[in-house]
């Protein structure tokens, strides 16, 4: 992006709502994704803002371009229009730069523990798996050593003090990383974690309102801390309720929720489906 365009985008971001839908191309989209995308689209369009599509494909081996292509057709079928921003795989340099900055600030430490090691320490279960008990805290990074990099959350919180963030549905929250603990910020096998990449990209894309499912509510505490450490602008969030399947369980690719692409290819009317989801949104209020 050249300087003039960057300036123009910044100006829009200051006054208009910019939302995004950020799917990972490692499987088909299902109804829950449609709900999320429509909500993000409608919230942006409601005040003449912009709805972005960002393909979150840093997980190289699991990401497949044919899924990204399928996502575009699915969104079109639902009647949505969007601006696509560069996929995460093209932004690796910005993740490295941010990680370097966090390392220089002493906020990350290397960890070579396996899942088994962590299990054997009797770690408590948190929002996203076991909470790391901090065995490697204080270790220094040896050049070339394959290690994950973890955030020293106690150190970060001590340096930053109280951080508040605002969800349009639930109101203000104080950032509380306890459900994650010393979360992995740079994976051993990848240039970033979801947390780091999504936080950096939302800022780079001028997103003013991060919309996503309530299953990622706890992750926002970590994102808020990363924003502060990296001096990024702080958006608002809108975590929406999750659609449930007939058994009352969260819809999930792995439990075989019907893919949008399957419904599309079977000739279902996508616009009618979108209207049905909008009604559901009005009823739930989120
Ligand atoms: N790539 C993430 C996912 O598909 C996006 C989460 C987010 O919206 O922040 O779950
Ligand atoms: Zn460790």
Domain chopping of the chain, boundaries? 3-284
Structure confidence at residue 13 as a pLDDT band (50, 70, 90): very low
Lowest mean pLDDT: which of 37-41, 147-151, 264-268, 280-284? 280-284
Q: Is 216 in the pocket of ligand 1 (CB under 6 A)?
A: yes
Q: Is 235 in the pocket of ligand 1 (CB under 6 A)?
A: no
Exposure class string for 227-263: b at 16+ Cβ within 10 A, else e: bbbbebeebebbbbebbebeeeeebeeeeebebbbeb
For residue 212, pLDDT over 50 is answered with: yes
266 C-alpha to ligand 1 centroid (Å): 27
43 C-alpha to ligand 1 centroid (Å): 18
For residue 201, pLDDT over 50 is answered with: yes
Half-sphere exposure of 203 (CA within 13 A, CB side): 19
Structure confidence at residue 6 as a pLDDT band (50, 70, 90): low
CATH superfamily assigned to domain 3-284:
HUPs (3.40.50.620)
Q: Is 24 in the pocket of ligand 1 (CB under 6 A)?
A: yes
Looking at every residue in the chain, the average pLDDT score rounds to 91
pTM over 0.95: no
Structure confidence at residue 145 as a pLDDT band (50, 70, 90): confident
Q: Is 26 in the pocket of ligand 1 (CB under 6 A)?
A: no
State the residue for tokens 């690719």.
Answer: 253
């Amino acid at each position: 992006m050249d300087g003039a365009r960057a300036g123009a985008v910044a100006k829009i971001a200051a006054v208009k709502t910019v939302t995004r839908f950020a799917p990972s191309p490692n499987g088909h989209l299902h109804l829950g994704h449609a709900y999320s995308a429509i909500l993000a689209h409608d919230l942006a369009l409601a005040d003449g803002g912009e709805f972005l599509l960002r393909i979150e494909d840093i997980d190289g081996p699991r990401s497949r371009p044919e899924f990204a292509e399928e996502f575009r057709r699915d969104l079109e079928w639902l009647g949505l229009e969007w601006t696509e921003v560069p996929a995460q795989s093209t932004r690796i340099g910005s993740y490295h730069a941010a990680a370097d900055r966090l390392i220089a600030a002493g906020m990350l430490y290397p960890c070579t523990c396996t899942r088994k090691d962590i299990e054997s320490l009797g770690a408590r279960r948190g929002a996203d798996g076991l909470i790391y008990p901090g065995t490697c805290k204080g270790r220094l990074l040896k050049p070339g050593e394959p290690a994950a990099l973890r955030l020293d959350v106690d150190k970060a919180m001590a340096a930053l003090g109280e951080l508040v963030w605002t969800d349009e549905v639930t109101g203000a929250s104080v950032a509380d990383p306890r459900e994650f603990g010393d979360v992995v910020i740079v994976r051993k096998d990848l240039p970033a974690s979801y947390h780091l990449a999504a936080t950096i990209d939302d800022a780079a894309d001028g997103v003013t309102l991060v919309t996503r499912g309530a299953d990622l509510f706890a992750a926002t505490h970590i994102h808020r801390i990363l924003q502060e450490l990296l001096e990024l602008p702080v958006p608002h969030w809108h975590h929406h309720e999750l659609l449930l399947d007939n058994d009352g369980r969260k819809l999930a690719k792995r439990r075989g929720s019907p893919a949008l692409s399957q419904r599309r290819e079977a000739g279902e009317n996508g616009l009618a489906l979108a209207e049905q989801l909008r009604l559901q949104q009005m009823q739930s209020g989120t």
